[in-house]
Amino acid sequence: MCSGVGRCCIDALRSLEMALLTRLRELEVLTRPEHPDLTRALAARWAELPAHVKQPNQMLGRRMSGCEGTHGVFPRCNLACTPCYHAKEANRVRTDGDHTELEVDRQMALMRQLRGPGQHAQLIGGEVTLLGPHDHARALQAMIRHGRKPMSMTHGDFDYEYLEALALDPRTGRPRFKHLAFAGHFDSMMFGRRGIKKAHNEAELNPYRRRFCEMFQRLEREHGVTHYLAHNITVTPRNIDEIPQLVRDCRHMGFRMFSFQPAAYIGNSARWKDAYREFSTDEVWRRVEQGAGGRLHYDAEQVGDVRCNRTAHGVYVGDRYETLLDEDDPRDAQALEDFIVAFGGMDFDDPRRGLVAVRAARAVARHPAVVGSGAAWALRLVRRLGGVRTIRREKPKAITYVMHSFMDAKDVRPAWELLQRGEMSDDPKILATQERLQACSYAMAHPDSGTLVPACAQHSVLDPLENLRLRELLPLHGRAPA
């Protein structure tokens, strides 16, 4: 009898010990700066990058596994743009909330599997607000379930009532999102906007840009839902010279990012109206710098291939712009390196602030040099901003300037076909296109094949056939045949 009781006690203690060890292991994983799935995804991303982008300041594979976008979820749009990157069949497809949620869920599940948690993903297709606000919310919730940080891509031509209905739970009237991220695309090559069917210049759109920002500011005042707003613009020979004034006019409206996309020959060829290759990307960037009021240090950080992406993080103190990282200062480069070594892909946006603090402590413990280089960097930044008094007087506002240069479909098609066969071209132009595709920072998921596809390949090669299939599945009028 005693022997049986003893064995029961021993078994209970062993069970308790196993439970405690399991909980400690879970706690150890939970407090790592990086989730193990993200650590694996970053390593895989770094391994697949071409050699020419594996630089010390490369963010892919070290800080992030890449940006993400949806495809084939709501291809229709109610404005007309020149150019338009979507195939001409896109506007013959019905927008359907159930289809959108299902496809977003499938695509984001693959992204979570291959890219790890905590990555930025764009809810993009045609015009997102053609979805009803509840269907829009369902799609965002699906993205969040899979550990994505969603951003809705829109032309911005919607009302506050739509935004409020999206943000609030209709059953309770309370916010169903604590934070919303939107990118508004505004440029004078867009036709059909309410109140201004055709803009003759970029300045005529400023009231619409301001109204867009003010809707989100009102939502935060009334309901406490915070926001992050980006401004997108396609650059063509028609509006390139307006960029400096556009940036000066809009940089204090409430946008946190300005994204410039030199036009490419992708999508609906009926809307190719200009010689888009008349100017270089350097010419675009110079005009952005003129508007920003300072030099934009895009060589401080690299995201993929610099021929595709330029990114410059900065701060405004009043109208004065200063860079966060000086690309000519090796001390800033060392501070960035120490930060990446210490923190890697750590997610600082996690709402569990105590957990973030523990993760940060572990990150510092594994690479203490980050404290010294980080403190010195912060001191240099304060000096660049004009000192403590200036910062107290003029609250600094973070700003990001980016340029995304898409490639022409005629180059992407052969480059992609060769890559699918595992071949590299001996044509310098096609080889350069292949290198850029291999280093692409912006991918779209194909759950049926378990693959990720660069956005340029998606729009140049896959969209036309995909939209033909969607026309059958989601006919514009009526239901699909049984």
Q: E strands within 265-375?
A: 309-317, 320-323
Q: Give the tens place of pLDDT for each residue, 9-40.
A: 777 778 777 888 888 888 898 999 999 999 99
Q: Tell me how far apart the alpha carbons of residues 399 and 385 are, in angstroms, rounded to a whole number.
A: 14
Q: What is the pLDDT of residues 391-427, one digit of tens each?
A: 999 999 999 999 999 999 999 999 999 999 999 999 9
Edge-to-edge strands of the sheet including 190-193?
80-81, 190-193, 196-198
Give me the pLDDT at residue 293, please: 96
Any idea which of 47-61, 274-288, 398-412, 468-482 has the lowest mean pLDDT? 468-482
At 363, the pLDDT band (50, 70, 90 cuts) reads very high
Predicted local distance difference test score (pLDDT) of residue 478: 63
Is the C-alpha dihedral spanning 74, 80, 83, 88 positive or negative?
positive
Tens-digit pLDDT profile for residues 421-476: 999 999 999 999 999 999 999 999 999 999 999 999 999 999 989 999 999 999 98
Residue (of 270, 269, 261, 197) closest to 230 by Cα position: 261
pLDDT band at 481 (very low <50, low <70, confident <90, very high): very low
Q: What is the pLDDT of residues 166-208, one digit of tens each?
A: 999 999 999 999 999 999 999 999 999 999 999 999 999 999 9
HEC sequence for 423-457: CCCCCHHHHHHHHHHHCCCEEEEECCCCEEEEHHH
Q: How many CB atoms lie within 10 A of CB 5?
A: 9
Residue of 302 and 271 predicted with greater confidence: 302
Average of pLDDT values for 40-54?
97
Radius of gyration for the alpha carbons in the chain, expressed in angstroms and rounded: 24
DSSP 3-state of 359 = helix
Contacts of 304 (CB under 8 A, 6+ apart): 53, 60, 66, 436, 439, 440, 441, 442
Query: What share of residues in the chain are helix, strand, coil (percent, to 5)?
Result: 50, 20, 35
User: What band does 482 get if pLDDT is binned at 50, 70 and 90?
Assistant: very low
In the predicted model, what is the mean pLDDT of residues 48-57?
A: 96
Q: Which residues contact 14 (CB under 8 A, 6 or more apart)?
A: none
How far is 390 from 315, CA to CA, in rounded Å?
A: 13
Query: By C-alpha distance, which of 343, 348, 298 is closest to 323?
Result: 298
Measure the CA angle with vertex 152, ends 148 and 156; round to 5°: 165
pTM: 0.93
3-state secondary structure 395-410: CCEEEEEEEECCCCHH
Enter the tokens of residue 133: 């606000």
Structure tokens at 251: 């940089």
Residues 249, 170 contacting (CB under 8 angstroms): no
pLDDT of residue 3: 66
Give the DSSP letter of residue 481: -
Percent of the chain surpassing pLDDT 70: 98
Model confidence at 280: pLDDT above 70: yes
In this prediction, residue 269 carries a pLDDT of 79
**Predicted confidence (pLDDT) per residue in 115-149, tens digit:** 999 999 999 999 999 999 999 999 999 999 999 99
pLDDT score of 272 more than 90: no
Are residues 456 and 406 in contact, defined by beta-carbon separation less than 8 angstroms?
yes
Q: Average pLDDT of 85-100?
A: 87
Per-residue pLDDT, averaged over 153-163, amounts to 98
Mean pLDDT of 365-393: 95
Treating both helix axes as pointing N-terminal to C-terminal, what angle do 206-223 and 243-250 enclose, rounded to 10 degrees? 30
Enter the DSSP assignment of 304. S
pLDDT, tens digit, 9 for 90 and up, residues 215-268: 999 999 999 999 999 999 999 999 999 999 999 999 999 999 999 999 998 887
Mean predicted confidence (pLDDT) in 58-69: 97
Q: What angle do CA 290, 201, 235 make, to 5 degrees?
A: 55
Contact 239, 188 (CB under 8 A): yes
> What is the rounded distance in angstroms from the CA atom of residue 69 to the CA atom of residue 406?
15
Q: Residue 311 and residue 300: Cα distance in Å, rounded?
A: 9
Environment class of 282 (CB within 10 Å of its CB; exposed 0-12, middle 13-18, buried 19+): exposed
The answer on pLDDT for 5 being more than 70 is no
Per-residue model confidence (pLDDT) at position 479 = 59
Q: How far apart are CA 378 and CA 74, in angstroms?
A: 44
Q: Give tens-digit pLDDT for 305-360.
A: 999 999 999 999 999 999 999 999 999 999 999 999 999 999 999 889 999 999 99
